[in-house]
A and B are shown apart, each in its own frame.
Chain A
Amino acid sequence: METFFDTLKIEENICPPGCGVCREKCTQVQRSKGKNGSGIHEFHIPDLGVHMANTCNQCSEPVCLDACPSGSISKDEKDGIVRIDEKRCLGCGLCNLVCPYGGIDYRADEKKAFKCDLCDGSPECVNVCPVKGISLMKARSIVGYFHEDPLLKGSSLCVGCPAETTLRFVLRVMGKDTFLFGAPGCATNVINGQGIKCMINIPSHMSNMTTVPSTMTGVKRYYRRLGKDVKCVAFVGDGCATDVGFQPLSGAAERNENIIFMCYDNEGYMNTGIQRSSTTPYGGWTTTTPAMGRRKGKKMASKNVPLIMAAHEIPYVATAVIGYPEDFLNKLLKAMAVKDGMSYIHILSPCILGWGYSIPASLEVIKAAVETNYFPLWEYERGKYRITYEVKNPKPITEYTKLLKKFAHLEKEEIDELQEIVNRRFNRIKRLTEAF
C-alpha cells in the first residue's frame, strides 16, 4: 500500500486567542451529514501562551487501527483517510488512549469516538481559518512523481543526515534513466557505497572534485551524438561545487551544457572533518576557522553561489531544501524540463556534527534557515527571478543561530553583522524579483 497521502498541516501556535472557527465549521459540516462531533479542536492555554489547533494526522500506520477491538477503524487504500465505522464502534476509547497526537475526539458520556475524515478529500476548515494556519499537504502530488527508489536501505552517512533523504528524494523524482555524478565528499558514501559495496541501482560515477561538470559534459555529448537524450545529474558538496570545482562548473554553465547540477551545501568540508569552505557563513565555527583565543569563527561572508550561477544566465537556477518538498519537487521538475541548457540547484543541507545540533533536529534547522531568510527559497527561470516561498514574518537570525553550536560563540556585534548579511542578501533577491 502506498504510504504517502494528503494530510492537514496546522501552523504551530499562531491561532488568535479564543478562536474556534475551525471547530465550529467542522461541527457544522458534520451536522449536515447527520453526525455529531468535530474532527478538529482548538487549545487555548493563555498562561502558557499556547493557542493552537489539533487534528488527526491520517497516519500511514495508524496505531488506533491496531488498538481497536471491534475493527471499526480502517485506513482507505485509495485516499489514505483513517475512518471510524460508527455502527461498529463500541465506544471503549482505546483509540483515544493510544493515539500519540490526540487526534481522536472521544466522548465518554456518549461512548463514541469521532475523528477527522478530511471531508473526504477537501477539508473545509482550511477555507475558514482567519490566519490561514491550516493547509492541506498534498503529499500525493509528490508521490505521484515518484519512481522506484534506486537506493537500497541503509547507508554509511551519519545518522539523521538530511543529505541522504535529499538524494533519495531527488533520485525518486529523476527516475532511472539518470547518470549520477558525485565527487569525494559525504554523499559519495551513498553514490558509490563503501569499497566494493554499493547501494545504488543506477549508473553512478565518483569523479574527482575538479572533473564533475566536464565528465557530465562528455557523457551527455557522446549520447547526444548517438541520438539519445539521457539525464546527467550531479549531487556534490559545496567544496566541489563552490571551491575547487567551481571553475569547471562555471565553464559548463557558460557552454550551457544540458546537465542538472546540484550542490548539497553543508557549508564546509564535512567529510574531511569540518574545515571551512567558501560557503561557510560569517562567524561560523570550523576547525580552520576556530572560535578560540583571537578567533571568532569565519571572518568573511559566504560565497553566494546560486546568485553567481544565475549571473551565467543558464535556463534555470534555484535554491531548495528537503524541508519544503513541494517547492523542491517543482524545482526538480523545472530543471528536468530544461532541454536546451544547464540547471543548477543549490540545496542547504545541515550537518549534525559540523554545525552542532542534536540528531532529530535537521528539519527544524532547515525550517529556521528558511523562516529567518537565512536561506531564502527562490528561483531564476530564463531571466526571471521569483521568490518561491514567501516568509510572512521573517524571524530574527537568532532563531536560527541559537539552534547551532557553530554560532554559539557569537556576541551581539557578530550576530548583528550576520543579520545585516542576511537582510542585504534577501533584499538583493527581492529587488531582482522586482527588476526582472
Chain B
Amino acid sequence: MSSIDLRGQIRVLDGNRAGAYGVLLCKPDVIASYPITPQTPLLETLYKFEAEGLFDPEMVEPEGENSAMGTLIGACAAGGRTFTATSSQGLSFMNDAYLLAAGNRFPIVMAIGMREQVSPHGVISGQQDAVLVKDHGWIQIYTESCQEILDSIIMAYRLAEDEDVLLPVNVCYEGFYLSHHSQRVEIPRQEEVDAFLAPLKGMNRLKWTLEEPMVFSSYTVPPELYTEYRYKMCMAHQRAKAKFDEIDREFAAKFGRSYGGQIEEYRTEDAEIIIVTMGCSTGTAKVVVDRKRDEGVKVGLVKIRMFRPSPKERLIKVLNGKKAIGVIDRNVCYAWNCGHNYIEIKTVLSDLDRPLPVLLDFIAGLGGADITDKHVEKVVERTIDAAKGKTYEPVTWLSLE
C-alpha cells in the first residue's frame, strides 16, 4: 500500500491535503487542474494520488482556469463526476465557463481556496473571490476547519448529483488560514464513502450520448422557456437547502460528525445576542462566545455554511426574538459600505417578529489580516451595548481601528 494512502487513518493535515483526500474518496472521472495559490497543493496532491495508483481519473492540465471548467463541463455533460479547484483571479478568469456550468445544471464540484482579488495584488487570504460570484448559480459551502473541508467535499457530491438538485457546488475555505495550516483530520475509509455516495447511482440525470442525440445549450430560446429555465434553477436552489440538512444528518449518522447543515447554531438557544460568522474565524469566535458565557453573557453564534442558496428559513428561526446581531464579514460590498453577510441578514430581518434585533456589521480580516479573539470580543461587547439601547455604528471597519 502506498505510504500516502491515509484512508481510514487520523492524521495532521493542512486544508489542501484534507480536501484532496475528500476528492480521492469520491473517485471523480475527470480532474482538470490549473495552479493558483493558495489551492495549488490540493491539485498537486491529487496528481500524487493518481501517480501512486490510488485512483485513476483522466487528469487534464489545461492552459487556464476557463478551460479547466470547460473540460469539466464536457466530462460532466457526458455523465462523468468531475473536480477542479481555483482561487481569486483564477475564479474571475473562469467566469465564462463558470456561468455555463450552472446554467446547464452540471453537478460539478469545485473547491475555492479563498483569496483577495486585485487590485492591489496580494497572495493573501480573504473571501472576496467566492462571495463576488454569489449570484452565478452555484451552491456555495463555506468551511471552518480542515476536517470540514474534507467532509464538505463528500457532502458536496451528494448534494450536487442529487436528482432534485443538479447544481454545481463550491466548497470554500480561506487561503493560508485553512489551506496551509495543519489540524487533526480523520480520513474516512473508502467503503464508508462508497456507501454514503451509493444513493447517487440510482439518480436520474440526462447524459450526452451518441445513442440519444441531444442539442445543448439552446440558442436564443423563447422568453417563456428562458424564464422557465431560470425558475427551475431557482427552485433547485431552494430544494438544495433542506436536502443539505438531510445530507448532514445522514453524514453524522455514518461518520459521527455533524456541521448543522445550512448553518451551525452554537449556544444560540437562550442567547440574547448572536454573532454571525462564515469561514475559519468561527473557531476563534466560538472561543470568545464560551468565554463570554462564562462571564454570564447570553451570547450565541451562527455560522453560515451554506452561503448560496441563502439559508433564509433557518436564519429566521434562529434569529427570532434575539435582541442584537453582530456580523463579522471578511469581505466588502462597495455599494452599501458593508460586508455581504450584513446585507444577507438585513434581508432576513423583515421576516422576523417585532421588535426587531439591532444589526451591526464588522468588516475584519481583509488582506490576510487575522481575526483575533480581541477583535471578536469587541464585536460581542459592542453588540451587547447596542442591544442595551446605546447608540452604535451600523458598520465598523474593525481592522482599521
| A interface residues (Cβ-Cβ under 8 A, vs B) | 176-179, 184, 188-189, 191-196, 198, 200-208, 210-225, 230, 247-248, 250-252, 254-255
Q: Within the complex, what minimum Cβ distance (angstroms) separates B223 from chain A?
A: 10
- Say whether B74 contacts A214, CB under 8 Å: yes
Bound complex: CA of A198 vs CA of B63, how far in Å?
33
A222 touches B30 (CB 8 A): yes
Given the interface pairs A202-B213, A214-B71, the reply to whether A225 lies near B62 with Cβ below 8 Å is no
Q: Are B96 and A221 in contact (CB under 8 A)?
A: no
10 new A-B contacts, CB < 8 A, other than A213-B67, A222-B58, are: A179-B210, A201-B213, A206-B219, A210-B97, A215-B70, A216-B74, A218-B30, A219-B74, A221-B75, A222-B78
Q: Which residues of B contact A248 (CB under 8 A)?
A: 62-64, 66-67, 70
Is B57's beta carbon under 8 Å from chain A?
A: yes
Q: Which residues of B line the A interface, CB within 8 A? A: 29-30, 32, 57-58, 60-64, 66-80, 82, 96-97, 100, 208-210, 213-222, 225
Chain A residues near B63: list those with CB within 8 A.
247-248, 250-251, 254
Considering the chains assembled together, what is the distance between the CA atoms of A214 and B213 in angstroms? 20
Give the shortest distance, in Å, between B370 (CB) and chain A (any CB): 38
Set of chain B residues within 8 Å of A201, measured between Cβ atoms: 213
Q: Which residues of the partner chain A approach B64 to less than 8 Å between Cβ atoms?
A: 247-248, 251
Nearest chain B CB to A251 CB, angstrom units: 3
Contact present for B225 and A211 (CB under 8 Å): no
Residues B78 and A211 in contact, CB atoms below 8 Å apart: no
Could you write out 20 A-B pairs with CB less than 8 Å apart?
A194-B220, A195-B221, A196-B225, A205-B216, A206-B215, A211-B67, A211-B100, A212-B70, A214-B66, A216-B74, A217-B70, A218-B77, A219-B77, A225-B57, A248-B62, A248-B70, A250-B63, A251-B62, A254-B63, A255-B62
Contacts of A194 in B (CB 8 A): 219-220
Q: Is the CB of B208 within 8 A of A218?
A: no
Instruction: Give the residue among B30, B215, B218, B221 with the most A Cβ atoms within 10 A.
Output: B215
Residue from B60, B82, B100, B221 within 8 A of A208 (CB atoms): B100
Chain A residues closer than 8 Å to B82, beta-carbon distance: 218
> From DSSP, what is the main secondary structure of chain B's interface residues?
mixed
Judge whether A207 and B70 touch: CB under 8 Å: yes
User: In angstroms, how far is the closest chain A Cβ from the Cβ of B67?
Assistant: 4
Bound together, the chains give a CA A23 to CA B218 distance in angstroms of 58
The one of B69, B76, B80, B219 in contact with A193, judged by C-beta atoms closer than 8 angstroms, is B219
| Complex-state Cα separation, A196 to B310, whole angstroms | 32
B215 and A225 within 8 A (CB): no
Given contacts A179-B208, A192-B218, contact A211 B58 (CB under 8 A): no
**Measured between C-beta atoms, what is the minimum distance from A15 to chain B in Å?**
50
**Given A179-B208, A218-B71; A205-B77 close (CB under 8 Å):** yes
Identify A218's interface contact among B74, B96, B220, CB under 8 A.
B74
Contacts of B217 in A (CB 8 A): 192, 205-206
Residue from B68, B71, B96 with most neighbouring chain A CB atoms (10 Å): B71
Chain A residues within 8 Å of B72, by CB? 218
The reply to whether A222 and B29 contact each other, CB–CB distance below 8 Å, is yes
Q: How far is the CA of A222 from the CA of B100 in the complex (A)?
A: 19
Please tell me if the beta carbons of B75 and A219 are within 8 angstroms of each other in the complex.
Answer: yes
A224 near B66: Cβ-Cβ < 8 Å: no
Q: Which of B62, B74, B96, B215 interacts with A222 by CB under 8 Å?
A: B74
| Distance to closest chain B CB from A198 (angstroms) | 5
Q: How far is the CB of A206 from chain B (nearest CB, A)?
A: 5
Interchain CB contact under 8 A, A211 and B73? yes
A207 to B30, CA, bound (A): 19
Q: How far is the CA of A207 from the CA of B222 in the complex (A)?
A: 19
Q: Name the CB-closest residue of B to A184.
A: B219
Let me know if A192 and B219 touch, CB within 8 A: yes
Q: Is the pair B218, A196 in contact by a Cβ cutoff of 8 Å?
A: yes
Which of B69, B70, B218 is the most central at the interface, judged by chain A CB atoms within 10 Å of its CB? Answer: B70
Q: For residue B110, give the distance in angstroms from its CB to the closest CB of chain A.
A: 14
Whole-angstrom distance between the Cβ of B122 and the nearest chain A Cβ: 25
Smallest CB separation, A433 vs chain B (Å): 30
Q: How far is the CA of A247 from the CA of B64 in the complex (A)?
A: 8
Once bound together, how far apart are the Cα atoms of A98 and B63, in whole Å?
62
B225 to chain A, nearest CB (A): 7
Q: Which residues of the other chain, A, contact B30 by a CB distance below 8 angstroms?
A: 218, 221-222, 225
Distance A27 CA – B126 CA, assembled complex (angstroms): 90
Q: With the chains together, A251 CA to B67 CA distance in Å?
A: 9
Kindly list the 7 A-B residue pairs having the minimum CB-CB distance in the complex, ordered from nearest: A218-B74, A214-B70, A251-B63, A211-B70, A214-B67, A218-B75, A215-B74
Q: Are A225 and B58 closer than 8 Å at their CB atoms?
A: yes
With contacts A196-B222, A247-B63 taken as known, whether A221 is within 8 angstroms of B68 at the C-beta atoms is: no
The interface residues of chain B lying within 8 Å CB-to-CB of A204 are 213, 215
Q: Is the CB of B68 within 8 A of A195?
A: no
Q: For A223, list chain B residues within 8 Å (CB).
A: 78
**A214 to B73 CA separation, bound complex (whole angstroms):** 8
Partner of A211, one of B75, B79, B97: B97
A217 and B100 in contact, given A192-B215, A203-B208 (Cβ under 8 angstroms): no
CB nearest to A251 among chain B residues? B63
**Interface core residue of A205, A216, A230 (most chain B CB under 10 Å):** A205
In the complex, A213 Cα to B60 Cα: how many Å? 12
Residues from chain B with Cβ under 8 Å of A214 in the complex? 32, 62, 66-71, 73-74, 97
Tell me, rounded to whole Å, the shortest Cβ–Cβ distance linking B107 to chain A.
14
Whether A221 pairs with B219 at a CB distance below 8 angstroms is no
Q: B96: which of A192, A198, A206, A208 is its contact (CB, 8 Å)?
A: A208
Q: Give min CB distance, B60 to chain A, whole Å.
A: 6
Q: A191 contacts which chain B residues (CB < 8 A)?
A: 215
Please indicate the chain A residues that have their CB under 8 angstroms from the CB of B67 in the complex.
210-211, 213-214, 217, 247-248, 251-252
A175 to B342, CA, bound (A): 57
By beta carbon, the residue of chain A nearest B208 is: A203
Nearest CB of A to B373, in Å: 45
Contact residues in B for A230 (Cβ distance below 8 Å): 210
Q: Closest Cβ of chain B: how far from A58's Cβ, in Å?
A: 36
Cα distance A192–B213 in the bound complex, in angstroms: 12
Distance of A6 from chain B, by nearest CB (Å)? 33
**Within the assembled complex, what's the spacing in Å between the Cα atoms of A189 and B219?**
8
Residues of B within 8 A of A211 (CB): 66-67, 69-70, 73, 96-97, 100
